[in-house]
Each structure stands twice: as C-alpha cells, then as structure tokens.
Amino acid sequence: MSPGVPPDIKPLEYARSMGRRIIGELELAYRIIEAQWSEDHALPFLAVTGSNGKSTTTTLLHHMMTSAGFRTLFGGNIGNALTEEIMKMREGQRTGGGPLVPDVVVAEVSSFQLEAIEVFQPHIASILNITPDHLDRYPSMDAYEAAKAGIFRNQQSPDILVLNADDPETMKLYDVRLRGKADSPQVCFFSRKRVVEGVYVKDGRIRMHFPHLEQGINDLELMATDNVRIKGVHNLENAMAASAMALLAGCPAGIVMEVLAEFPGLEHRIEAVQEVDGVKFINDSKGTNVGAVIKSIESFSGPLVLIAGGRDKAGNFSALRDIVAEKVRAVVLIGEASEKIGRALGDVTTIVRARDLKDAVNISRRLAEKGDVVLLSPACASFDMFLDFEDRGRQFKKIVRELVPVNA
C-alpha cells in the first residue's frame, strides 16, 4: 500500500478478512534491497524519521555520504519512492555496462510508511523529534508515537538508534520502550543543551563522544555552530543528527564538516526570499504543524509578522501562545483553520484575517516595521487552497518578489 492510504479503509479490511498480508512500499523496498544486494556485501540502511526536519536531515546525510565517495540509494518520504530508485539502479545495471551496486541506503521515512512494516530493520536510525502532527489520521498522540516507534521495532545490537535528548516526547518513547530492555539497539543522543553520549554543543562548538558504541568515537570536535551554513535551532539539531549518522556509517569527519559549512538548505524551509523596505520575507511553507512553527519562530530574534493557516490537521494551536506573545507582532490568517487559530491566539497578539495569500502578504507588509521579519509558517496543511506545501511556498515567493519598494 502507498503511505497516503489510511490502513482502515474498506478494501484493506476486506483483504485482511480474506487472510491477505498487507505491507507498505517501504517494506517492499527493504525486502528487495535485502534480496538484491545484501547477500553480496553488508548494505547499511540509514533511516530518518521525526515530525519535523526529516527532509533536511536526510538530504544532509545523503550529501555527506556521497561526498565521501559512497554510492547512495536515496529516497523515501522525501519525494522519490525507494522502489522507484531501486528500479532506476537496476536499469543502470542492464544498460550501463556493469554492475551498479549501492554502498548505502539513505531514506526518509514517515509514520505512515512505518505503519505497514514487518521486517524493516535499519542499521542506523534516527528520531529527530515528536510533536503533535497528523492527528486527523491518528486517534491519539500515543497512536502517532507508536507508529514512529516502528523505526526501531526490529532493531537490535549492533544496530544504532540516534535520539534527540532535548525532545520530551522522544525521550518518553526511549524511557518506555527502550531503556533497560534486552535485544534493543545501541542508543546515542544529540543535544543543543547538554553534554550527552553522542553529539552535543558545548561553548559554541559541536562535539562528539560515543564511548559505549562499538565504533568507539571519543571526544571529537567538529566545528563552531556559527560555521554551520543552515541557520535556526532546528537546523542545528538536524545537522547534529546527520553528522552522528554519517560518522557512525563511516563518513570521515572532514567531509562532515565540509558539508555542514556548504549545504544551503532546502526550499520552503526557513528560506530567505528577499528584503523589501527593511523587512525580510521568509518562506517556511513546510512548517505544517505547530511544533515546526515554534522552532521556526525561535530562529529569529526580532519581531515577526506570522502568516499562518490552511487545512487543520487537528493541531493544538494554543501551544503557540507563549512564543507568539513573546515574538510575534501580528498574525495574519488564511484558509480553513483561520477561525480556530484566531480563537487560540486572539488575546495574545493582533489577529488579521486575509482573503488569500496575496492579501496576507500585503497586510503583513503594512503591519511590519523596518527590521521585522514576515514569516510564512502556516502550522497547517496546504490542500484547502494549494496543490501542496511547495505550491504554497512558490506562490508566496512570486508574490513577494513582485512587491515594489516604496522608494523604487
């Protein structure tokens, strides 16, 4: 089944009643990879999940591994199905005049994909964070977290799991499902806030310390956090997770540092569009849940005008109240969820409703003062007004680039 298909629809229930086994595309890809290549040589499977930051982390990891000379099979939830990438590589075997065998698989995996696994067992996996998301599909946070936990369900030593020590829900999952359990994977952590066994920040520098893993990396200093090209607290976490996985998979530290210093980030993730009359316009259309928006706002020191709204995924918009009260000058709302967001935030900042995205940009420009940031970070899905988050982001950029400075 495709990950976008809910597992409880009638055709699947009927198939189950007939005794048919149902697996997902990720499971199918994993089985093909194991059958196609793993008998010839150990083929590490590196998998990244989390509510936010998956695509950036997975792409960083992919660049690190390819820059180090590894032939990478790269895909998953990031937009190109692993089964499709396998077919491309197999086609290369038939037409390229020789065997085309990957050295490593790098995959972004979602909770939807992890719902339908059986034997999927990544050699190195990471959970970046767990914040409320997709609660229009899951009956509870517990159900959502259980789906995410599928990434380590079949792992065991010497497999490795990399976890965010600063994320409460991720650590709760670790405490309940892993701590002290037999036949569990080796676990290491990353943290912006404290020293951990894994990757951490101390005195403005990224350091690594894996004393208990079989790889035995001890007290390795990577680089100053200021030298990481992609900015924002969430991107620092993404950088640390990718670095840990790459080093554990055999990527040299020098390559890791080069990629962190050069990688520009992905489109629609805190993407600077342009500055108009002293106001910076930022495209974070991929901020489709409340947790992502909080991290995005935390990345800016000055006052913000926030453009939010869209199709609600059962988000708890009240969780935005504290940071909006602290940093957001005004919230401009669009889409189906505008009334719900307005009720949640209306007493902590100025709320303005816009007809559409162009109207929202124009209103935000009038509300913003010189030195402010106008941030599109919707906390919602895009499907009420746009094809997808990419369409929303590109329309935002087009509108902003058509703004005419006052003194032009």
DSSP class of 213 = S
Cβ–Cβ under 8 Å, residues 244 and 162 = yes
Pull the structure tokens for residue 343.
């009720």
Model confidence at 191, pLDDT cuts 50, 70, 90, reads very high
Angle, alpha carbons 35-40-42 (nearest 5°): 85
Active site residues: 54, 77, 134
Average pLDDT over residues 20-43: 85
Q: Of 29-33, 227-231, 305-309, where does the model show the most confidence?
A: 305-309
Residue 406 has pLDDT above 90, yes or no: no
CB contact set of 330 (below 8 Å; sequence gap of 6+): 305, 306, 349, 350, 351, 352, 364, 367
> Do 145 and 110 lie in a common domain?
yes
Is the pLDDT at 27 greater than 60? The verdict is yes
Can you name the residues that pair with 381 across neighbouring β-strands?
311
Q: What is the DSSP string of 261-288?
A: HH----TTSSEEEEEETTEEEEE-TT--
Secondary structure letter of residue 387 according to DSSP: S
**What is the reported pLDDT for 92?**
72
For residue 214, what pLDDT is reported? Answer: 57
> What's the CATH number where 114 sits?
3.40.1190.10
Domain boundary among 211, 236, 262: 262
Same domain, 207 and 330: no
Q: What is the pLDDT of residue 97?
A: 57
Q: The domain containing residue 379 runs over which residues?
A: 271-401
Residue 361: CATH number of its domain: 3.90.190.20
CA 351 to chain centre: 29
Predicted TM-score (pTM) of this structure? 0.85
Alpha carbon distance 317, 222 (integer Å): 37
Which of residues 369 and 212 earns the better pLDDT score? 369
Per residue in 109-143, pLDDT tens? 999 999 999 999 999 999 999 987 777 788 888 99
Sign of torsion, CA 189 184 247 210? positive
- Average pLDDT over every residue of 157-183: 92
Question: At residue 335, what is the residue type?
Answer: G
Contacts of 209 (CB under 8 A, 6+ apart): 195, 196, 197, 198, 200, 217, 218, 219, 220
Q: Which residues pair with 46 in a beta bridge?
A: 106, 124
Q: What pLDDT was estimated at residue 408?
A: 62
Per-residue pLDDT reduced to its tens digit, 233-255: 889 999 999 999 999 999 999 99
155 with 172, same domain: the answer is: yes
Both tokens assigned to 360: 């929202």
Exposure b/e, 230-267, CB count within 10 A at least 16 = b: bebebbbbbbbbbbbbbbbbebebebbbbbbeebebbe
Judge if 199 and 306 occupy the same domain.
no
* Same domain as 316, residue 172: no
How many whole angstroms separate alpha carbon 341 and alpha carbon 108? Answer: 30
CB-based contact 28:3 (threshold 8 Å):
no
Mean per-residue pLDDT for 162-166? 97
Q: Who has greater pLDDT, 217 or 378? A: 378
Q: What is the DSSP letter of 302?
A: S
Residues 111, 227, single domain; the answer is: yes
Q: At what angle do helices 141-148 and 168-177 cross, to 10 degrees?
A: 70
Which pLDDT belongs to residue 302? Answer: 78
284-309 pLDDT, tens per residue? 999 999 988 998 999 898 799 999 99
Mean pLDDT of the chain: 91
How would you list the strands of the sheet with 124-127, edge to edge?
A: 72-76, 104-108, 45-49, 124-127, 160-164, 186-191, 198-202, 205-209, 220-224
Residue 159 lies in a domain: yes
Domains contained in the chain, number: 2
The 10s digit of each residue's pLDDT in 60-105 is: 999 999 999 999 999 999 989 999 999 888 777 666 555 578 899 9
Q: How confident is the model at residue 41 (pLDDT cuts 50, 70, 90)?
A: low
Q: At residue 180, what is the residue type?
A: G
Three-state DSSP class for residue 72? strand
